[in-house]
Amino acid sequence: MPILNPVQLTEPVFLRNLIIYPILGSANDDIEISAVDDILAKNDGTFRELDAPDINRISFSNRGDTPVLILDGEEIIGSLQNRIAADSILVPARSTNNIPVICAEEGRWDDIGSFETGYCSYPGIRAILSRRGNRKNGLQKKVWKEIERKLTATKTLSTTSSMHDIYNNLEDEATRYVEGFESLNHDTIGFIGVAGGKILGCDIFHAPATYRKFEQKLVRSYALDAIEHRKPSPNSIDAGKFLQATHDSLKKKKYTDRARHFSLKEEKFSGQGLVYRDRIIHLSVFPR
């Protein structure tokens, strides 16, 4: 049964009002994985619409020699409309997969050119993805509703109700969160993000090398939620308890040989993860 290697929290890092609790893990891992941004930069991968375009599916061709990881909530912009990955997906080397996606731009169905990657969805959207389980009814409307709420809360104008416009509008402010920030401890495999006295979410990877490929993108996404939670809170957050509860939930999970994607459903949190070669490659968890 694949579970996370032993992990532990270390001292928090303060990025303005965003508190990052690094999660340390083993640096020994022989699985080499590429981030989709790196593959696209080397022209070893291509996103495209299906021959019969589908709002919930796009195609990705990996021409590289290593599997490519696409995170749940990672943004894929352009073509007929901007989408976000519904699950964490691993596309094998030299293969083409159809990727389950959700629209992140309600007001456009008009071709503007080829796809490229954008930001990673902020935790508020990824939490919605993690709670859907096998019942997808209403998921698209929930995502659109959350984007509309965020547009209003951040005073962002968007003619197509696009999540991408929120990031562009708050780019300078999000950048201030990461000024002077380079990377967490070299043994870091993930982190728990906290702001305003509440846990925003948690991302964990199988190895530090893979985590570092996504670190900057993830920290910026958590900053986008932290912008809304600047008011100090008297609440005491026990990040260690949250991590332990996640680990306990994983130990109860039953896996099959065919299981590659799985979900966690608990009273106080939900999550989703990806298994490859009996390792949990990526896990994201969000409070309910």
Non-local CB neighbours of 115 within 8 Å, separated by 6+ positions: 46, 47, 48, 58, 76, 77, 78, 79
Which region among 51-65, 132-146, 160-174 has the lowest average model confidence (pLDDT)?
132-146
- Convert the pLDDT of each residue in 168-216 to its tens digit: 999 999 999 999 998 998 899 999 999 999 999 999 999 999 999 999 9
pLDDT for position 1: 47
Angle at 58 between CA 44 and CA 259, to 5 degrees: 90
Q: Residue by residue, what is the 3-state secondary structure of 6-29? A: CCEECCCEEECCEEEEEEECCCCC
pLDDT for position 195: 96
Q: How confident is the model at residue 37 (pLDDT cuts 50, 70, 90)?
A: very high
Tell me the pTM.
0.94
| Residue 115 near residue 47, CB atoms below 8 Å | yes
Mean pLDDT of the chain: 92
